[in-house]
Amino acid sequence: MKLGKTYTLSAIAALLDSPFSGDANLAVTGINEIHRVEHEDIVFVDHPKYYDKALNCSASVVLINKDVEVPEGKGIIICDDPFRSFNFILNYFNPFLFSEIQQEETEIGAGTKIHPSVSIGHNVKIGKNCLIFPNVSILNDVTIEDNVIIQSGTVIGSFGFYYKNRGTHFDRLNSNGGVLIEKNVEIGANCTIDKGVTAVTTIGEGTKIDNLVQIGHDTYIGKKCLIAAQAGIAGCVEIGNEVTIWGQVGIASGIAIGDKTVLYAQSGVGKTLEGNKTYLGSPVDESRAKFKEMALVRRLPELFSKSAKE
């Protein structure tokens, strides 16, 4: 998420009323979750296991709960609760607005047809020749390009599923990113596409999505993909171009799937996958290896029987 103008390390520290180390004039132009950070971004870390990863990522400023050595060219802000401080900054620069009525400022392209029951939030842009069917909810910070079809009951731009366990309760990380639906995308009925926590959840040009599909926050789906019903894709996933995902596939967060991958139905994907291959099973494996494994499993009763007789 970009902040709209350039701030300094000292200005952000003053906003949080927290001490800092590093060049006071270090430029800050954005804030991002660690999977999406860029140079001049702010990121947070609140567990020693991830200190090194955060301090050596692309971000320029790290919110951290310990005074540590500052890497060259970076700054740190020492916070009692970096998660809460990160949430504060997100809400400070992009406060949540609840939509109680249809937003008159929505940009809608020529030839687009929108059913009267559709709900549209703040900062929404809809391109030309789109079809948006009854009871679709398009929430804040969504951009829909030309020739997009969205079928009934779909929700675009809902909060990301990102929580911190406080022991007695869960704190939600604010979702202040957005959603981009590129040209010629079709989205089925009753799908849910979460907005980015800090970046933009993206559905690439020409991708077709079946009914009852869940796509998590900050996930990027490439061009000309096919995603069948009841697939569940977690947050911060990178899916390449021309990937086929069949029904009830589950994909874990923070992994990548290469171009032209095919995932057979009900596969459980918990690791990054090389492109141009076909996979199946849970845990997933290349199809040839998995079919051999299945053939051997079918022979187990026979093998046990022979072993008992011997």
199 and 239: one domain?
yes
Which pLDDT tens digit goes with each residue over 252-269? 999 999 999 999 999 999
Residue 262 in contact with residue 279, Cβ under 8 Å?
A: yes
Same domain for 81 and 204, yes or no, is no
Query: Which of the listed residues 38, 71, 93 is the one where a domain comes to its end?
Result: 93
Distance between CA atoms of residues 270 and 255, nearest Å: 7
Q: Identify the domain containing residue 152 by its residue range.
A: 107-290
| Residue 300 within a domain | no
Q: Nearest Cα to 140, choosing from 191, 182, 100, 83?
A: 100
Confidence band for 218, pLDDT divided at 50, 70 and 90: very high
Q: Which tokens hold the place of 236?
A: 């911060």
Given a contact cutoff of 8 angstroms between Cβ atoms, the answer to whether 99 and 121 are in contact is: yes
Q: Are residues 115 and 155 in the same domain?
A: yes
Asked if 257 and 183 sit in the same domain, the reply is yes
Q: Is residue 304, in this structure, part of any structural domain at all?
A: no
Q: Decide if 302 is inside a domain.
A: no
For tokens 């061009």, the residue is 223
Q: Which residue has tokens 């069948």?
A: 228
pLDDT tens-digit readout, 144-166: 999 999 999 999 999 999 999 99
Number of structural domains found in the chain: 2
The answer to whether residues 17 and 148 belong to one domain is no
Which CATH number belongs to the domain containing residue 215 in this structure?
2.160.10.10
CA dihedral 182, 177, 195, 74 (to 10 degrees): 100
Three-class secondary structure of residue 156 per DSSP: strand
Residues 200 and 160 in one domain: yes
Mean local confidence (pLDDT), 129-155? 97
Enter the pTM of the model: 0.88
Q: Within this chain, do residues 112 and 244 fall inside the same structural domain, yes or no?
A: yes
139 and 84 share one domain: no
Q: Strand pairing of 163-165 and 170-172?
A: antiparallel
SS3 182: coil
Is 132 among the domain residues? yes
How confident is the model at residue 104, as a pLDDT? Answer: 66
Looking at the chain, the whole-number percentage of residues with pLDDT higher than 90 is: 86
Distance CA 42, CA 32 (A): 6
What pLDDT, on the 0 to 100 scale, is given for residue 101? 64
- Can you give 54-117 as a three-state secondary structure string? HHCCCCCEEEECCCCCCCCCCEEEECCCHHHHHHHHHHHHCCCCCCCCCCCCCEECCCCEECCC
Instruction: Kindly report each contact of residues 38-41 with a partner whose C-beta sits within 8 Å and lies 24 or more positions away, as own/partner.
Output: 40/6
Of 66, 93, 120, the residue that ends a domain is: 93
Task: Please tell me whether residues 112 and 69 are part of one structural domain.
Answer: no
What is the structure's pLDDT at 99? 75
Looking up residue 58, the CATH number of its domain turns out to be: 3.40.1390.10
**Within a domain: 303:** no
Question: Could you tell me if residue 309 is inside a domain?
Answer: no
Q: Confirm whether 217 is a catalytic residue.
A: yes
User: Which of 65, 93, 121 corresponds to the end of one domain?
Assistant: 93
| pLDDT mean over 215-228 | 98
Question: Looking at per-residue confidence, does 68 or 99 come out higher?
Answer: 68
Partners of 193 in beta bridges: 156, 215
Residues 261 and 163 placed together within one structural domain of the fold: yes
- Is residue 297 domain-resident? no
- On whether residue 295 sits in a domain, the answer given is no
Residues 129 and 55 in one domain: no
Which tens digit of pLDDT belongs to each residue from 4-60?
899 999 999 999 999 999 999 999 999 998 888 999 999 999 999 999 999 999 999
Are 124 and 262 members of one domain? yes
